[in-house]
Amino acid sequence: MTGLGKLGEFGLIERLRQRLGPAPAEVALGIGDDCAALQLPAGEQLLVTCDLLLEGVHFRRDWTDLRRLGRKSVAVNLSDIAAMGGTPRQLVLGLGLPGDLSLEEFDLFLDGFCAAAAEHQVAVIGGDTCRAQQFLTVSVTAFGSIAPNRLLRRSGARPGDLLLVSGTLGDSALALAQLQRGEQPEDSLLARHLDPTPQVALGRALAECGGVSAMIDLSDGLLADLGHLLEQSGVGARLETAAIPRSKPFARLTAGSEEGLDLALAGGEDYELLLTAAPEARDRLQAIATQIGVPLAVIGEILPEAGELQLLAADGRRLAPGHRGYNHFARD
């Protein structure tokens, strides 16, 4: 029998506990009691974020292997800590396990989850494990910390600031679109969808160096997440669509079609950082990104008019509101 029932709830928790290395010093009490007990670094505030990954909503078991699902469950949460400029420290894992999930699949999930946590030196300190009726449910809560004066919020963008984005956009959404069409995405694109990399080192370095006025991570798509940042800052923006960084495979596969711009603007699940900074800080921020090995591109500028979003095409023309990227935006 390979089902999970044989081990039972406590057998599964023990299996998880055995996979984890020794807890770091700030975990005064880890898995095994009614609560974990944590020490916060002196002078820092606690950051808390939670994400659900629901089968049929956020992932399909026939499109992802469980190891990568485990990794992605960590990544999407650490991306939120990164977006504040914080240091991720602990994870809490809630699992709803359907009866048809095999022990092998459970082990693969744990492998991926624990490996991704270890890569970021994040301790797994607790959770809850239940049987689910039908669908695999993953709920992850991440804790991080940051000095209060370093915290990068969505609300700090000012007119005249540059708009910058890390990495390349659209790869994940292109892979998803291909899966939905029944096509097999290239490995590099599929990896961006199933196993995204949270920009933790870059987020922290940007917060430490100063000069960044606002930051958000890109989970819902550039236009939607930029919209959140503009709204909370009470400003507008000019976005040069030709400056949006795209990977080589993405550019090749979307050349000559409208799909490329749509996916880059509205696709989602990029897990890159979108930030604003005064123009004087540009060189310093670029140097930090280069040092970390992540590209950082200027894609526009913050405007004083609240709610104004100007989308400029490569030839400088304003894109008409009928453009599909705009329609996506309206639906969001």
Instruction: Give the footprint of ligand ADP on this chain (CB under 6 A).
Output: 13, 16, 31-34, 93, 95, 124, 126-129
Q: Coil, strand, or helix at residue 226?
A: helix
CB atoms under 10 Å from CB of 110, counted, come to: 22
Q: Counting contacts by CB under 5 A, is residue 32 touching Mg ion?
A: no
Among ligand ADP, Mg ion, none, residue 95 binds (CB under 5-8 Å by kind): ligand ADP
Least separation in angstroms between CB 130 and ligand ADP: 9
Q: Taking CB under 5 A as the rule, does residue 128 contact Mg ion? A: yes
Q: How far is the CB of 331 from Mg ion (least distance, A)?
A: 38
- Residue closer to ligand ADP, measured from CB, 16 or 176: 16
Residue 300 · residue 237 · CB < 8 Å: yes
Contact between 305 and Mg ion per CB under 5 A: no
Q: Using CB under 5 A, which of the segments 97-105, 111-119, 124-132, 243-251 binds Mg ion?
A: 124-132
Minimum CB distance to ligand ADP smaller for 126 or for 203: 126
Alpha carbon distance 147, 198 (integer Å): 20
- Buried residues in 71-105 as b, exposed as e (16+ CB within 10 A): bbbbbbbbbbbbbbbbbbbbbbbbbbbeeebebeb
Q: Which stretch binds Mg ion (CB under 5 A): 43-51, 62-70, 121-129, 275-283?
A: 121-129
Helix ranges (DSSP H) in the chain = 8-19, 66-83, 103-119, 171-180, 187-194, 200-209, 222-233, 248-254, 259-266, 282-292, 324-331
Q: How far is the CB of 57 from ligand ADP (least distance, A)?
A: 20
Q: How far is the CB of 155 from Mg ion (least distance, A)?
A: 36
Q: Which residue from 285, 301, 298, 145 is spatially nearest to 230, judged by alpha carbons?
A: 301
Report the interface residues with Mg ion, using CB under 5 A. 128
